[in-house]
Amino acid sequence: MIDVSNITITRSQLLSTKQQLELTQQGYELLDKKRIALMQKIIELQDLVVEEARDLQQLTNKAQMNLARAEAFVGEGRVKSASLGNEYENPIEVEHNIVMGVQVPRIHSSPSRDKRAAQAASFNSTSTMIEEAGSAFTKNVDGIIRLADGEIQLATLMKEILHNTRRLKALELIVIPRLKAEVAYIRDELDERERSDHFRLKLAKDIIEQRNKRAQQRRAANFAE
């Protein structure tokens, strides 16, 4: 049931409510199209994240195998010493892209990271096996960053589609039915007023005709006398 206490029963209000209903329905259609587009993008990202997770697992396994081989042939002490000598920061850059009207954060390694890593390796190279292990773990970190990038995008779009779905439900279940009910109520009330006005006009016309008829009868009687 709608609250009719604040509804103005006029033709202009009926027109205004109809226009509001039309705009709301158009907004609903646009939001629904956005929801579909977001779903398609989310499905694409889900496939990408699954693939990145699979690649990361392979990179992790390879890095661990290279590390174990280096420790076995070179010695754990030399591997630890080389790792301490090759410490460097792994800067990450964050930017934002617009996807379906949504600001989505993207992360990736800074271009300066590869240069610093190459310099560290050249100054601290002790063994081919250690270099291979270090390179494998560098690729492993890259895989982690790629996976994190995909997961952040996915989480952002999932949050947006949940918000979009709540708005759609509110329009579908609350706003649009209320506006339709208001339009129907105002139209019915105006129709009822029109019928009442027509009935009153007809009644008034009948009363006037009866009065005129009695007046004519009185004049005719007076004339006959």
Residue spans of alpha helices (H) in 74-175: 76-85, 111-123, 128-170
CATH of 11-178, one of 3.40.50.300, 1.10.287.3240, 1.10.1060.10, 3.40.50.10540: 1.10.287.3240
Q: In this predicted structure, which of 41-45, 59-63, 110-114, 188-192 has the lowest mean pLDDT?
A: 110-114
Write down the pTM of the prediction. 0.71
Amino acid sitting at position 96: H
The whole-angstrom separation of Cα 107 and Cα 142 is 11
Q: Quick: pLDDT tens for 46-105.
A: 999 999 999 999 999 999 999 899 888 888 888 777 777 666 667 788 888 887 788 998
State residue 133's pLDDT score. Answer: 86
Torsions phi, psi for 95 (to 5 deg): -135, 170
pLDDT for 117 equals: 52
Q: 158 pLDDT exceeds 90? A: yes
Work out the mean pLDDT of the chain and round it to a whole number.
83
Residue % of the chain over a pLDDT of 90: 42
Going from N- to C-terminal start, the domains of the chain cover 11-178
pLDDT surpasses 60 at 122: no
Secondary structure element (H or E) that encloses residue 106, with its range? strand 102-109
Two tokens at 203?
Answer: 């009644």
- 181: its two tokens: 């009910």
Neighbours of 184 (CB within 10 A): 12
| Cα–Cα distance for residue pair 135/10, rounded to 1 Å | 77
DSSP character for 5?
T
The share of the chain scoring above pLDDT 70, in percent, equals 85
Residue among 141, 154, 202 nearest 41 (CA):
154
Residue 177 has pLDDT above 90, yes or no: yes
- CB 161 within 8 Å of CB 59: no
| pLDDT tens readout for residues 135-147 | 898 889 899 999 9
pLDDT in tens, 200-223: 788 778 778 777 777 776 766 666
